Amino acid sequence: MDFNRRQVLTGTAAFAGATILGSPVVLAQAKPKVVVIGGGAGGATAAKYIAKDGAGAIAVTLVEPNANYQTCFHSNLYLGGLRDYASITHGYTALARMGIELVSDRAAVIDRDKKQVVLAGGQRLPYDRLVMSPGIDLKYDSVPGWSQAAEEAMPHAWKPGAQTLVLRKRLDAVPNGGVIVMIAPPNPYRCPPGPYERVSMMAHALKAAGKDRCKIFVIDPKESFSKQALFQEGWDNHYKGMVEWLGPKVHDGVKSVDPASGTVVTGFETYKNAALVNVIPAQMAGAIVRESSLANASGFCAIDPNSMKSAVDANIYVLGDASIAGDMPKSAFSANSQAKVAAMMIRGELAAARTFPARYANTCWSMINADDCVKIGGTYEAKDGKIAASSTFVSKTGETAELRKQQQAENMGWYAGITTDMLG
């Protein structure tokens, strides 16, 4: 044995001694408790990273009413016939194996004074820190004539699960020559390029089924949208004559819809007997954060960009689509990134773990055709009181087919990566 190795062994023994001496103090106190609400990209990641990196020092409970999780990301690929439903469905068993307590119930009320989550079933879960990642709720009254009762007739499919299946079934039933109308959402909303990837995947499925006389009209309240030049180039390349996007100056607003007859009335034109109307309404943070007075007038929650901590309650962190994350889009990648910052800060607060300045990242891939994939992304930091982009990139028009195909392979790798990172 050389001198260095001997020194190392001595040092290791000293370390071990320190740990043993320290442990009774830890054992004498109850473990700090973290409750996480929502088992999506933000909540599942936060629960996993607090449990994993805390190595048992913190008791973590994940509250999620659904036994299975369907990813919103890549649900457009299911719509386009490029993924099956089972492949976008995931369970929580690996998180349970890590020692995270899974509670299959809905969080009904947050008692912020007592620091307790009250479940729909009546049980109370005390917390030292609460992580809230409830995602979005839909504003059912934002499109005249549409309502929750109409979501079967005119599906939104902007929350994954049953609605995803409804939209696919309806798409499959569209006859050749049928008209599809998508009502796109106003900002801010979940997954900025999502509606336009959906249009692409619907056109792909129709074309693959030989239904290339179909037409998709996109009625958009926005003057411009994410990756617009890339999508419009792609629609022209792959689905010529099948997609028509209309901005507000052209359509002059959605005046009303009639779910029973498949009618959409705009200031410019009335679409009658549409084979499918996909209404993607305006959005707000999930009810539980709004009802807990954590959201501001915008319907979303202000956070400290250095930590993802709620701006109004120092014991609560808000992640993902429900938060106001500055320049970061509402995406699964963003929520996953924010969750890691929150997990580190919570471990710092409750387990005296080392912390570092918050850093965030995002990338969103969008499929235009089976081998044509584009991407947008960036890195982000806390600056001037918000999460600000430090560097961003977006695919360019006119890229080679080879590069686009390579990006699709990245997209598939990312899906496997993030679902493993969250739930594996």
Of 19, 256, 392, 397, the one binding other proteins (CB under 8 A) is 392
**H helices present in 55-182, as ranges:** 75-79, 93-97, 162-172
- Kindly state the smallest distance separating residue 410's Cβ from other proteins, in Å: 5
Q: Is residue 186 within 8 Å of residue 220, measured between CB atoms?
A: no
- Kindly state the smallest distance separating residue 62's Cβ from other proteins, in Å: 19
- Kindly state the smallest distance separating residue 345's Cβ from other proteins, in Å: 11
Cα–Cα distance, 304 to 298 (Å, whole number): 16
- Kindly state the smallest distance separating residue 48's Cβ from other proteins, in Å: 11
What own/partner pairs with CB < 8 Å and gap ≥ 24 does 143-149 have?
Answer: 143/183, 143/254, 143/257, 143/279, 143/281, 144/254, 144/255, 144/256, 144/257, 145/256, 145/257, 145/258, 145/259, 146/257, 146/259, 146/279, 146/281
> Which range touches other proteins (CB under 8 A), out of 18-26, 148-156, 303-311, 387-395?
387-395
- Kindly state the smallest distance separating residue 45's Cβ from other proteins, in Å: 9
Q: How far apart are the first and last CA of the chain?
A: 40
Handedness of CA 52, 55, 56, 59 (dihedral sign): negative
- Kindly state the smallest distance separating residue 87's Cβ from other proteins, in Å: 12
Q: Degrees (nearest 5) of the Cα angle 121, 67, 367? A: 130
Question: Considering beta carbons, is residue 114 or 359 the nearer one to other proteins?
Answer: 359
For position 305 contacting other proteins by CB under 8 A, the verdict is: no
- Kindly state the smallest distance separating residue 356's Cβ from other proteins, in Å: 5
Q: Degrees (nearest 5) of the Cα angle 253, 257, 263? A: 110
Of 90, 182, 333, 372, the one binding other proteins (CB under 8 A) is 333
Draw the binding track, 364-383, toward other proteins (x: CB under 8 A; -: no contact). -----------x-xxx----
For position 421 contacting other proteins by CB under 8 A, the verdict is: yes
For position 69 contacting other proteins by CB under 8 A, the verdict is: no
The secondary structure of the chain in percent helix, strand, coil, rounded to multiples of 5, reads 35, 25, 40
Of 75, 164, 366, 411, the one binding other proteins (CB under 8 A) is 411
Of 226, 266, 307, 337, the one binding other proteins (CB under 8 A) is 337
Q: Residues binding other proteins: what is the number (CB under 8 A)?
A: 41
Q: Is residue 211 within 8 Å of residue 175, measured between CB atoms?
A: yes
Of 356, 384, 400, 402, the one binding other proteins (CB under 8 A) is 356
Strand order in the sheet with 129-132: 101-103, 59-63, 33-37, 129-132, 316-318, 309-310, 301-304, 323-324
- Kindly state the smallest distance separating residue 57's Cβ from other proteins, in Å: 15
- Kindly state the smallest distance separating residue 7's Cβ from other proteins, in Å: 7
> Which range touches other proteins (CB under 8 A), out of 135-143, 155-163, 180-188, 355-363?
355-363
For position 4 contacting other proteins by CB under 8 A, the verdict is: yes
For position 395 contacting other proteins by CB under 8 A, the verdict is: yes
Q: Is residue 203 within 8 Å of residue 242, measured between CB atoms?
A: yes
Cα–Cα distance, 314 to 178 (Å, whole number): 53
Question: Considering beta carbons, is residue 167 or 418 the nearer one to other proteins?
Answer: 418
- Kindly state the smallest distance separating residue 212's Cβ from other proteins, in Å: 29
Cα–Cα distance, 44 to 40 (Å, whole number): 5
- Kindly state the smallest distance separating residue 263's Cβ from other proteins, in Å: 42
Measured CA to CA in angstroms, residue 205 lies from 50, 171, 209, 239, 404 at distances of 41, 8, 6, 11, 19
Residue of 75, 96, 137 lying closest to 285 (CA atoms): 137
Of 11, 91, 99, 144, the one binding other proteins (CB under 8 A) is 11
For position 85 contacting other proteins by CB under 8 A, the verdict is: no
Sequence-ordered list of residues with C-beta below 8 angstroms from that of 13, at least 6 positions apart, any chain: none
* The three-state (H, E, C) secondary structure of 90-123, written as one string: ECCHHHHHCCCEEECCCEEEEECCCCEEEECCCC
Question: Considering beta carbons, is residue 53 or 128 the nearer one to other proteins?
Answer: 53
For position 424 contacting other proteins by CB under 8 A, the verdict is: yes
For position 71 contacting other proteins by CB under 8 A, the verdict is: no
> Which range touches other proteins (CB under 8 A), out of 17-25, 205-213, 239-247, 351-359?
351-359
Q: In the complex, which residues of this chain contact other proteins (CB under 8 A)?
A: 4, 7-8, 11-12, 49, 53, 333, 336-337, 340, 344, 354, 356, 359, 361, 363, 375, 377-379, 390-393, 395, 406-407, 409-418, 420-421, 424
